[in-house]
């Protein structure tokens, strides 16, 4: 078989199916109908004399030949895309582009106000949309263009380009006047005193729950929620303590006490992630440089 026999769109379809492990999800990514995607895959199977993908629970699985082809095809498509993007212009003052960002609720609190102000000044018609993606899908979402960037503490996200924005640590948030805050304990005495507290935990930062487990106080967890934004009102109206990022806790209005015990897993790094596939896209470069300039090295 000669390379001239292969339609580039069939390779894009192959790459999308391989990434998504689903013909229907690949069709959605490429803005195709499922019948059109199935017909294209049938053509490619005939050209390559291999089924390429076989049915599996929840989608399809690649054959050995598809596994061998996947990385060369991905590199070829990425090279073509980069070459085309090198000459594409992006004028922030004129662009009406929409950028999709993965952020947790705490990330939105930390990054969106300053980022939106800078975007409005430089690119008044550009639109930002946050789009929450399960962590195990972030790399794929970046590579397929479903999201342009992912902000956050994402240690399990691999195979992306990234830059560190801020270093932070988890702190304990209490209401002002809480009995523990009045004792002014430090060091081991403060860690010991934490075992007297009842806690509210947040699923989106699993390390907050792991910290409680390491301290041996997970049996004192009284409330688990999905978001940090609800914590101020809960903490202020109860004696519950919340473990949360310090940069977020310090942004709340007065009425709270912040403790900084030396507990395990207390430090973490927030990074900006993007796909190698779109690294040279001028719009991607513009927003990336804007975010790095705003936040890199801040706390």
pLDDT at 215: 85
Pairing of strands 199-202, 221-225: parallel
Average pLDDT over residues 109-120: 94
Q: Write the CB contacts of 171 (distance below 8 Å, at least 6 apart in sequence).
A: 243, 244, 245, 246, 249, 258, 259, 260
Cα R_g (the chain), whole angstroms = 24
Categorize the per-residue pLDDT at 83 as very low, low, confident or very high, splitting at 50, 70 and 90: low
Global model pTM greater than 0.85: no
Average pLDDT over residues 91-118: 92
**Residue whose C-alpha is closest to residue 269's, from 230, 232, 243, 295:** 295
Task: Place domain 98-160+270-295 in its CATH homologous superfamily.
Answer: Periplasmic binding protein-like II (3.40.190.10)
| Mean confidence (pLDDT) of the chain | 87
pLDDT above 70: residue 206? yes
Structure tokens at 60: 């399809």
**Considering the chain, what percentage of its residues have pLDDT values greater than 90?**
41
pLDDT at 122: 96
Average pLDDT over residues 132-158: 91
Residue spans of the domains in the chain: they are 3-85, 98-160+270-295, 167-268
Q: How far apart are the first and last CA of the chain?
A: 57
pLDDT above 90: residue 81? no
Fold assignment, 3-85: Arc Repressor Mutant, subunit A (1.10.10)
167-268: CATH class: alpha beta
**Considering the chain, what percentage of its residues have pLDDT values greater than 70?**
94
**Eight-class DSSP state of 181:** G
pLDDT at 45: 92
**Residue whose C-alpha is closest to residue 271's, from 157, 160, 153, 115:** 153
pLDDT above 60: residue 86? no
Domains 3-85 and 167-268 alike in fold: no
Residue 88, number of CB atoms within 10 A of its CB: 10
């Amino acid at each position: 078989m000669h390379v001239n026999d292969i339609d580039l769109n069939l390779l894009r379809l192959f790459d999308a199916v391989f990434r998504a492990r689903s013909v229907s999800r690949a069709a959605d990514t490429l803005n195709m109908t499922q019948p059109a995607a199935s017909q294209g895959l049938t053509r490619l199977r005939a050209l390559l004399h291999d089924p390429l993908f076989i049915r599996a629970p929840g989608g399809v699985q690649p054959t050995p030949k598809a596994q061998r082809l996947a990385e060369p095809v991905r590199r070829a498509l990425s090279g073509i895309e980069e070459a085309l993007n090198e000459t594409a212009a992006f004028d922030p003052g004129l662009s009406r582009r929409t950028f999709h960002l993965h952020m947790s609720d705490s990330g939105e609190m930390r990054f969106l106000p300053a980022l939106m102000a800078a975007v409005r000044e430089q690119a008044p018609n550009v639109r930002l949309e946050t789009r929450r993606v399960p962590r195990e899908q972030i790399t794929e979402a970046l590579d397929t263009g479903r999201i342009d960037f992912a902000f956050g503490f994402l240690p399990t996200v691999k195979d992306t380009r990234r830059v560190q924005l801020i270093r932070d640590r988890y702190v304990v948030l209490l209401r002002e006047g809480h009995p523990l805050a009045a004792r002014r304990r430090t060091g081991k005495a403060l860690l010991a005193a934490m075992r007297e507290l009842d806690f509210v935990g947040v699923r989106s930062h699993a390390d907050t729950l792991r910290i409680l487990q390491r301290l041996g106080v997970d049996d004192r967890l009284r409330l688990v929620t999905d978001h940090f934004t609800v914590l101020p009102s809960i903490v202020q109206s109860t004696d519950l303590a919340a473990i949360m990022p310090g940069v977020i806790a310090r942004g709340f209005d007065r009425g709270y006490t912040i403790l900084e015990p030396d507990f395990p897993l207390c430090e973490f790094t927030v990074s900006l992630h993007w796909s190698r596939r779109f690294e040279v896209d001028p719009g991607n470069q513009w927003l990336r440089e804007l975010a790095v300039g705003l936040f890199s090295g801040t706390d």
